[in-house]
Amino acid sequence: LTNALIPPGGQKPVQLNRGIAKKIVEFCATVSIFGCLTSGPALALSKAEQLGAAKIEGGGASTLQSGRVIAITRGVNLDNTDWRGKDLKGVAFQQSVLRGCNFAGVNLFSASFFDADLSGSDFTNAKMQQVNLEMADLSNVDLSGADLTQAYMAGAVIKDLKKIENTDWSDVDMRKDQRTYLCSIAAGTNPKTGTDTRESLMCPD
């Protein structure tokens, strides 16, 4: 067991508290960051899940937060990965490439997609309260039925965002022009919160 974290690119190793290093190694030996077994025949992973796991191991990192390992995937290419059934609460996908990914129904509470490319991804019925979408590319993203209560949208690219039926935008921080555009296509009621989509956006009658 080593207590040095080896960054990619041959950078100088970062020394960790040995107790923390041991906990991380013990955790990762039993279960991956996203809840899939790392070894043994107990669970067969799909190609998309295997691809995601491999890319996380190759370019990701992790940190202990309140006794829970939180993944940080800054700058990682995770195109076409399938995250259904995973608990991604608080995970940071900052500046990562996540085109054509499947986040349908996933718990993304307080996750960060700062400056991430999410174009063509599926977030239908996702739990996206307090998610950070600042400067994220939401082109052709499907947000149908998602709960984005208190999300942060400043600078997000939404010009080709069209699928927002039944979304909840209550208390979302966004620019006036973003709100105007979303109001032009908003419709429906969120199935979980019962909130009218246009009302959550404070659209004019």
pLDDT of residue 141: 98
Q: CA geometry: angle at 187 spanning 184 and 192, to 5°? A: 140
Tell me: the pLDDT tens digits for 33-76?
Answer: 444 323 233 333 455 544 544 444 334 434 444 445 456 667 88
Is the entire prediction scored with pTM above 0.95? Answer: no
Give the Cα separation of 182 and 180 in Å (integer).
Answer: 6
pLDDT tens-place string over residues 76-89: 899 999 999 999 99
Which pLDDT belongs to residue 74? 78
Q: What is the pLDDT of residues 130-170, one digit of tens each?
A: 999 999 999 999 999 999 999 999 999 998 999 999 999 99
Q: What is the DSSP string of 93-133?
A: -TT-B-TT-B-TT-B-TT-B-TT-B-TT-B-TT-B-TT-B-
* CB count in 10 Å sphere of residue 171: 13
Which structure tokens are listed for 13?
A: 């190793």
Q: With beta carbons less than 8 A apart as the criterion, state whether 117 and 98 touch.
A: yes
Residue type at 103 in one-letter notation: F
Paired with 147 in beta bridges are 127, 168
What is the distance between the alpha carbons of residues 180 and 158, in angstroms, rounded to a whole number?
A: 11
Task: Give the chain's mean pLDDT.
Answer: 78
pLDDT at position 25 is 42
Asked whether the predicted pLDDT for residue 183 surpasses 70, the reply is yes
Cα(72)–Cα(36) distance, integer angstroms:
17
Query: Strand, helix or coil at 69?
Result: strand
pLDDT bucket at 12, cuts 50 / 70 / 90: low
pLDDT of residue 24: 47
How far apart are alpha carbons 166 and 148 in whole angstroms?
A: 11
Nearest to 185 by CA among 137, 126, 129, 138: 138
Q: Note the pLDDT tens digit of each residue in 87-111.
A: 999 999 999 999 999 999 999 999 9
Residue type, position 183, single letter: C
Amino acid at 61: A
One-letter amino acid at 47 equals: K
- Model pLDDT, residue 125: 98
- Quick one: pLDDT at residue 75? 82
Instruction: Tell whether the model's pLDDT for residue 119 goes beyond 70.
Output: yes
pLDDT at 205: 79
pLDDT of res. 5: 47
List Cβ neighbours of 16 (8 Å cut-off, separation of 6 or more).
3, 4, 5, 24
